[in-house]
Amino acid sequence: MRGRTPWDARLVAGAAGAAGLMALHSVVPNAVGRLGSLVETFLPWLGAAVPVLGVGALLARSGAGLLACLAPALVWCWMFGGLWFASSAGPHDLLVVQHNVADDDADPAGTARALLASGAGLVAVQELTPAARPRYEDVLGASHPHRAVRGTVGLWSAWPLSDVRPVDIRPEGFPGSWRRGMRATVSAPGGRIAVYVAHLPSVRLGATGLASAARDESAALLGARIADDPAGRLLLLGDLNGTLHDRGLGPLTSQLAAPAAGFAFSWPSALPVTRIDQVLGRGVEVTRVTALGPTGSDHRPVLGRVRLR
């Protein structure tokens, strides 16, 4: 025991706590204030405990504390290393871009040009207003002549669309004018794909915790519709107002595959700390998602690379 410092126990406890919280985040209760969902929203950032504890161990000359930092570091690499250290995305058959374009964007034409520059064959947007819609049609019309808009969500496609219909994902008590879901079949070069575009209700952090009940209810409604969809190939493009680890999106993430690589933090645009804009698939492989540069929105667009199976 010779050589121990007064900080040893504190540093070891801090490292064990960070490692345990990352690895066992699913046992954090959600009954009060949606605490579990709150932790899961910022889960990758728990890895910041490693350099903080490491510096503390060096300053305290704590060998035990420095060694204990290996625990959260290894857990972080196990959970997120594939996203961080993955090499090139490899070949893809489709490029898709997903963007909440913000209903207060002062330059919708500029945002549309940024989406066009991504080279994506499918462009999915949320918070599309009647005033902004003509600007998107002007910019995207030539390269993406096929379009569908239902409520405030829209899809522009380089390939023909069919079977376009709204998808009702309204939580109980929301008005009939709240229309944030749609489905279309895209006749892409590699075959037909069912594409859902969705915008789940917003989540707010307040004195009582994370207010995500409406988001969770909407996710369950959308998950039920997708589960009943017979399409062999299916993509979900949307502002889901939740991360892939957030248990509130379980009805979706339990049946749709997440990207194999890329953190792609998309919100808030000025300093992104989390990704709530998602590209998920069934019967296809989303190999990587990349965040693009800022637009006039408070979100950043995300570009998904998709392989058809």
CA-closest candidate to residue 65, choices 11, 4, 122: 11
pLDDT band at residue 83 under the 50/70/90 scheme: confident
Query: How far is 77 from 73, CA to CA, in rounded Å?
Result: 6
State pLDDT tens for residues 49-80: 999 999 999 988 888 999 999 999 999 998 88
Q: Say how many C-beta atoms besides its own lie within 10 A of residue 175's C-beta.
A: 7
Domain definitions of the chain by residue range: 8-85, 94-308
Query: How far is 68 from 106, CA to CA, in rounded Å?
Result: 50
| 304: three-class secondary structure by DSSP | strand
State pLDDT tens for residues 161-218: 999 999 999 999 999 999 999 999 999 998 999 999 999 999 988 767 788 999 999 9
pTM greater than the 0.85 cutoff: yes
Query: How far is 9 from 123, CA to CA, in rounded Å?
Result: 53
Query: Which pair of structure tokens corresponds to residue 50?
Result: 């490693």
Query: How far is 265 from 277, CA to CA, in rounded Å?
Result: 8
Query: Which pair of structure tokens corresponds to residue 230?
Result: 């017979």
One CATH from 3.30.420.60, 3.90.25.10, 3.40.640.10, 3.60.10.10 for 94-308: 3.60.10.10
| 156: three-class secondary structure by DSSP | strand
Contact (Cβ atoms closer than 8 angstroms) between residue 125 and residue 144: no
More confident residue, 83 or 30: 30
What do you get for the CA distance between the two ends of the chain, in Å? Answer: 58
- Residue 145 phi/psi, 5-degree rounding, is -70, -15
Q: Could you give the percent of the chain with pLDDT greater than 70?
A: 96
Strand partners, 204: 211
The residues, any chain, with a CB within 8 Å of residue 232's CB and separated by 6 or more, are 283
Contact (Cβ atoms closer than 8 angstroms) between residue 68 and residue 53: yes
Query: How far is 66 from 61, CA to CA, in rounded Å?
Result: 9
Q: What is the DSSP letter of 141?
A: T
